[in-house]
Amino acid sequence: MAKPKYSHLSLSLFLIITITIITSSPPSLASRTSNFPSSRWAPRFLGKFSSSSPPKQPQPPKQQQQQPKIRYETRYFAQRLDHFSFSDSPRFQQRYLINTEHWVGPQRLGPIFFYCGNEGGIEWFAKNTGFVWEVAPQFGAMILFPEHRYYGESMPYGNKDEAYKNASTLSFLTAEQALADFAILITELKRNFSAEGCPVVLFGGSYGGMLAAWMRLKYPHIAIGALASSAPILQFEDIVPPETFYDIVSNDFRRESSSCFNTIKESWDALVTEGKKQNGLRQLTKTFHLCRELSSTDDLANWLDSAYSYLAMVNYPYAADFVMPLPGHPIREVCRKIDGCRDGTSTLERIFEGVSIFYNYTGQAKCFELEDDSDVGTDGWNWQACTEMVMPMSSSRHASMFQTYDFNLSSFQEECWKDYNAKPRPTWITTEFGGRDIKATLKSFGSNIIFSNGLLDPWSGGSVLQNVSETIVALVTEEGAHHIDLRFSKKEDPEWLVEQRATEIKLIQGWLEKFYQESKSNFDM
């Protein structure tokens, strides 16, 4: 079987965002899912589309009302485009959100809670990181949500068109530059607030969690600790098996229903077979209610693959409208649909019923638009994946319900060159940030990092799941999905989630108490 282009990439990582679903309300039938980040060749983190125009998601009014309010001021800071050379590069305006209303101020060494903005507009992350907003008041903390360069409004060269023009203008879109932005922003803001003595605590989820962990490791003088939620800092080179991600997605389905798992596993062949038939693509277009006629089964496979992967990430125990409106335990619901069709329903019809839970839970979509590739070059995460964030992804023969696929670095590199004139550096992240033998390295070096992960989350396999030392700890929840702990608390929160957050608060409290004790003893000296 030909290796499908999609399977190592539709990873569509990390809880996307503005999946625009066709609803009956807009006049045009052509509202589409083209923003859906299927990322044919690279894993994704969430946030990519958060900064662009708000998604046209049909949302149940009740859930909208439940959304807690957050208050902040939006400010801008002039950042150097290149921190690591002294060439005459321009500056850009980095956006950041700030809230000081609960901050107890510099005299009392009020802490600063700093969210490491990831690949998207920062307002969306602020809205979806309720944990920080909920706990800041009890700590008397200032809240900062800085935006990651090249996302949202924080565009070098004045606007996105210029910033994303070519490999040269994009060349400063790296994690190291983003961390230096954070370090400088914190330092300058502290100076402005006369808050040099105030402790900073980092937060981040997904790629933002990776940034938080790396920031704590690289800038221990800037921040006293980091809560890195769902941060797959080990998903590089061969530190974890490349099959990890898809195996976990697959397992999330199998644990709900082995027949569901099997149906999905069989569906790829069914798809290809159908596609090869005369009028097969037309039939598939009908079966899957696509808005436009399908031109390749790969596109459809991508679309399905994305749905499964995202479902695994947002497999939350309660109804949520994080990515799109979904019921609680959405994989259970998908499998119920797949398994529950009346006898005689074809495999592909079952699949359609299943993924409709993901793409059309509200039932308002009339047809579906598959992703198109046209904006591949304007996607920041794709650039990052094509340069330093090279996360090899394969799909195993047996444990995976996806098509078998072996990550191929050469073809990955070719695609990156084609799309971006970018040359991936697959070994750079581990050289710069480490990852191999991470327990041994960090056991005697480093402190105050929480790696929180839910085992349902396919990214958990690339994160730190064991305690490293007394102060570098792993909080692992059996039933958790992608950085659920960072979300606003809800009355439906299961007990384990309530406990997890309480533990996080306690650990952060511990860091701060130790910091204050030491500040005091320094002061007393």
- Nearest residue (CB) to a second copy, 265 versus 443: 443
Alpha helices in 193-296 (DSSP H): 207-218, 244-256, 258-276, 280-287
**Residue 465 in the binding site for a second copy (CB under 8 A):** no
Shortest approach of a second copy to residue 202 CB, angstroms?
A: 14
| Displacement of CA 16 from its chain's centroid (Å) | 7
Burial 361-393 (b: 16+ CB within 10 A, else e): beeebebbbbbeeeebbebbbbbbbbbbbbbbb
489: annotated active-site residue: no
Shortest approach of a second copy to residue 432 CB, angstroms?
A: 7
Q: What are the residues whose beta carbons fall under 8 Å from the beta carbon of 86, sequence distance 6 or more?
A: none
Q: Which of 427, 509, 510, 513 binds a second copy (CB under 8 A)?
A: 427
Shortest approach of a second copy to residue 315 CB, angstroms?
A: 32
Of residues 310, 308, 315, the one with CA closest to residue 267:
308
**Residue 231 in the binding site for a second copy (CB under 8 A):** no
- Nearest residue (CB) to a second copy, 406 versus 432: 432
Listed ranges 42-50, 228-236, 326-334, 511-519: which one lies at the site for a second copy (CB under 8 A):
511-519
- Nearest residue (CB) to a second copy, 473 versus 486: 473
221: annotated active-site residue: no
Shortest approach of a second copy to residue 292 CB, angstroms?
A: 35
**Residue 445 in the binding site for a second copy (CB under 8 A):** yes
Q: Which of 296, 396, 404, 441 binds a second copy (CB under 8 A)?
A: 441
**Residue 374 in the binding site for a second copy (CB under 8 A):** no
Q: What are the residues whose beta carbons fall under 8 Å from the beta carbon of 141, sequence distance 6 or more?
A: 102, 103, 110, 111, 112, 113, 135, 201
Q: Which of residues 241-300 bind a second copy (CB under 8 A)?
A: none
C-alpha to C-alpha distance for 485 and 487, rounded to whole angstroms: 6
**Residue 237 in the binding site for a second copy (CB under 8 A):** no
Q: Which of 2, 27, 88, 398 binds a second copy (CB under 8 A)?
A: 88
Shortest approach of a second copy to residue 225 CB, angstroms?
A: 10
Q: Which residue's structure tokens are 């790396």?
A: 214
Torsion of CA 167, 172, 176, 181, to 10 degrees: -160
Phi and psi, residue 509, nearest 5°: -55, -40
- 469 close to 265: Cβ distance less than 8 angstroms: no
373: annotated active-site residue: no
Q: What are the residues whose beta carbons fall under 8 Å from the beta carbon of 45, sequence distance 6 or more?
A: 13, 14, 118, 119, 206, 207, 208, 381
Q: Kindly state the number of chain residues that form the binding site for a second copy, as judged by CB under 8 A.
A: 57
Of residues 27, 33, 8, the one with CA closest to residue 355:
33
C-alpha to C-alpha distance for 500 and 506, rounded to whole angstroms: 10
- Nearest residue (CB) to a second copy, 93 versus 519: 519
DSSP type of residue 161: H
Q: Which of 138, 513, 518, 520 binds a second copy (CB under 8 A)?
A: 518
3-class DSSP state of 452: strand
C-alpha to C-alpha distance for 142 and 208, rounded to whole angstroms: 19
**Residue 382 in the binding site for a second copy (CB under 8 A):** no
Shortest approach of a second copy to residue 455 CB, angstroms?
A: 22
* Among 181, 457, 485, 493, the one annotated catalytic: 457
3-class DSSP state of 355: helix
Q: Which of 78, 409, 440, 498 binds a second copy (CB under 8 A)?
A: 440
- Nearest residue (CB) to a second copy, 125 versus 172: 172
- Nearest residue (CB) to a second copy, 39 versus 177: 177
Shortest approach of a second copy to residue 217 CB, angstroms?
A: 8
Six-digit token string for 98: 């700030």
- Nearest residue (CB) to a second copy, 286 versus 423: 423
Shortest approach of a second copy to residue 522 CB, angstroms?
A: 6
* Among 7, 39, 206, 356, the one annotated catalytic: 206
User: How much is the CA Rg of the chain, to the nearest whole Å?
Assistant: 23
Q: Which of residues 156-215 bind a second copy (CB under 8 A)?
A: 167-168, 170-174, 176-177, 180, 183-184, 187, 196
- 464 close to 233: Cβ distance less than 8 angstroms: yes
Residues that bind a second copy (CB under 8 A): 82-88, 167-168, 170-174, 176-177, 180, 183-184, 187, 196, 217-222, 387-388, 422-423, 425, 427-428, 430-438, 440-448, 471, 514, 518-519, 522
Hey, which residues are catalytic here?
A: 206, 457, 482
